[in-house]
Structure 1
Amino acid sequence: MMGGNDQQAYDRGTSLFSPDGRIYQVEYAREAVSRGAPSLGVRTADGIVFVAMSRATSTLMESESIEKLHKLDDHLGTASAGHVADARQLIDLARRQSQGNRLRYGEPVGVETLTKFVTDHIQENTQRGGTRPYGAALLIGGIENGEPRLFAADPSGTPNEWKATVIGGGRQDIQGVLEEEWEEGLSLAEGIELGVRALAAHEEEFVPGDLAVATVTEAEGYRTVPESEVSEAFEAAGLAGDEDDDETSADDDGTDETDADGDGE
């Protein structure tokens, strides 16, 4: 049996495999992501839909300062979950690479190419000493050669392409709704409605103002969806629009969450 000191050595090492083939720090980084508020992406016939829980943790907080969705380029967007500061570093990296591709080659970067560039960078932090894995996950979606594509990047640096997926807290419940209800040929409006309904499987009480929604299409590029359109999706999904008066609290560790159970923002 492995001694306690040996176990702790594998636990502390950011680039050491345990005897059973695990890298504990990567698993802890995934746990940080699961404690964050959920963000999901849906691929539709017309483009990509991002929906993220973006509720302020205090009445004194400016809701505009909570950033879960980001524009990477005219044809690219991303959603994040986990430690906000880690996510911002990856988002800035993706933006620089996208801009550099336009300057160097005179054309927009591909969705898959950009995703693999970011995940290669993430993976490097799992095999070098003196660093730690990023405690954040990203959804990267956009238009490539006229077709919508959606990828997810987790703390291990693994890129996977999805039709619809979620990162952050409540993944099992939300992913279950997406797997059950996603279908080919969804419109953008239906994609937003599906995203709202899927989040309701994890978060029972929320209002349109608690969500951040964006779309990426070939015609309009990256677009932030106004609250009025989100409200229409709520009505179409059959969700009540009553205000949630429950008090929320936030941990101070920099993870975009509202309580210790992982019901985050």
Structure 2
Amino acid sequence: MSFMPAAMGYDRALTIFSPDGKLYQVEYAAEAVRRGWTSIGLKSEYGVVLIAERRRVAPLHNVVDLEKVFIVDAHIGATFSGLGHDGRVLIDYARLIAVRHRLTFDEAIDVELLARTICDIKQAYTQQGGVRPFGVSIIFGGVDKKGVELIKTEPSGLYFKYYGVAAGVGEQTVSSYLEKHYNPKMTVEELIILGLRALRASLEEPLKVERVEIGFADISIKAFRKLAAEEVQRFLEKAGVTS
């Protein structure tokens, strides 16, 4: 006599709940996020910082050109963990949403409205036949008329606001480090240093400039920008994570 696994059948159809109330395809999408490269978001009253881990996927891969922190709009940035192709598609769509909002309302979109719109798309892909959930968590950070915002979206379509958050394979280690060392009064520079030290704690080797990408938005400037390689190197040295 053969026995079928408990999830058999329920994990093949996206729109069918298991007896214990689970959508297995959504849980598998969350697992794809947990296996992705680490991404970190931090905010304080002075601004928001996004930090993303990069890895070489082949011996001759030029990892410096691998983009993991994105400018979505002038005042909003994003990074993600999970399936890269899913992340790229949703980031491009987020940019389109932001542009349409500017053209329609003649104002910049709020970070939360952008995150909620992306989550509406994610949620729709959990209840339609013939599709699958997006296996990616996007972290949005920016400064809008409400102030500094940091939001993480989940594959299920949920989103939450944070002071410090991580996604990917190093999420637990990074989160534990942030819980111990985070201070809401930190400057943007201090947030960057904290994020780099948290990322280093989750890795087995020292950080190099090609392994990390950093972006930030300052409350006084209200614009999101990415650090050049030379700037990243200086912060790596300040954080003491190069050895």
Deviations 1:164-213 (A, max 9, x none): 10111121111101111111111111011011000111113121221001
Do 2:69 and 2:215's aligned partners in 1 also have CA atoms closer than 8 Å? yes
SS in 1 for 2:238: helix
Matched, 1:225 2:205: no
> Which residue identity does 2:225 align to in structure 1?
R
> 2:215 corresponds to which letter in structure 1?
A
Aligned 8 A contact 2:188 2:218 in 1: no
1:239 aligns with 2:241: yes
Q: Tell me the amino acid that sits aligned with residue 204 of structure 1.
A: E
The aligned residue for residue 208 of structure 1 is: 209
Q: What is the CA-CA distance between 1:84 and the residue it aligns to?
A: 0.7
* RMSD (Å), alpha carbons: 1.6
1:43 maps to 43
Contact kept, 8 Å, 2:42 with 2:49, in 1: the verdict is: yes
Secondary structure, in 3 states, of the residue corresponding to 1:9? coil
Distance in 2 of aligned mates of 1:178 and 1:186: 12
CA distance in 1 between counterparts of 2:25 and 2:118 reads: 19
Displacement of 1:48: 1.1
CA displacement 1:47-100 (0-9 Å, x = unmatched): 110111113223411224412111110000100111111111111111111000
Alignment partners' CA distance in 2, 1:5 and 1:235? 51
Q: Any stretches of 5+ residues in structure 2 without a counterpart? A: none
Partner of 2:185: 185
Aligned counterpart, 1:86: 86
Residue 31 (structure 2) aligns with: 31
Count of matched residue pairs: 239
What TM-score, normalized to structure 1? 0.86
Asked whether the 8 Å contact 1:45–1:188 carries over to 2, the reply is: no
Letter in 2 for 1:207: K
Q: Which amino acid aligns with 2:111?
A: V
**d(CA) in 1 for partners of 2:65, 2:239:** 28
Matched residues in 2 for 1:6 and 1:210: separation? 40
The amino acid across from 2:217 in the alignment is V
CA displacement at 1:5 relative to structure 2: 7.7
CA 1:49–1:6: 2 relative to 1, 3 Å:
closer
Please name the residue that 2:74 is paired with: 74
Q: CA–CA distance in 2 between the matches of 1:87 and 1:67?
A: 11
**In the TM superposition, what whole-angstrom CA distance separates every residue of 1:116-167 from its partner, at most 9, and x where no partner exists?**
0000110001111111000111001111216110000011110100001011
User: The residue matched to 2:174 in structure 1 has which SS?
Assistant: helix
Tell me what 1:122 maps to.
122
**Which stretch of structure 1 is more off in the superposition, 103-112 or 141-150?**
141-150
Confirm or deny: 8 A CA contact 1:174 1:198 kept in the other structure. Answer: yes
Query: 1: CA distance between counterparts of 2:5 and 2:209?
Result: 50
Moved more, 222-231 or 84-93: 222-231
* 2:184 partner SS: coil
Do 1:41 and 1:164's aligned partners in 2 also have CA atoms closer than 8 Å? yes
Correspondence 1:160 to 2:160:
yes
Q: In percent, how many aligned pairs have the same letter?
A: 34
CA shift, 1:220, in A, is 5.8
Q: Which residue of 2 aligns with 1:143?
A: 143
- Runs of 5+ consecutive residues of structure 1 not aligned to the other structure: 242-265
Aligned residue for 1:9? 9
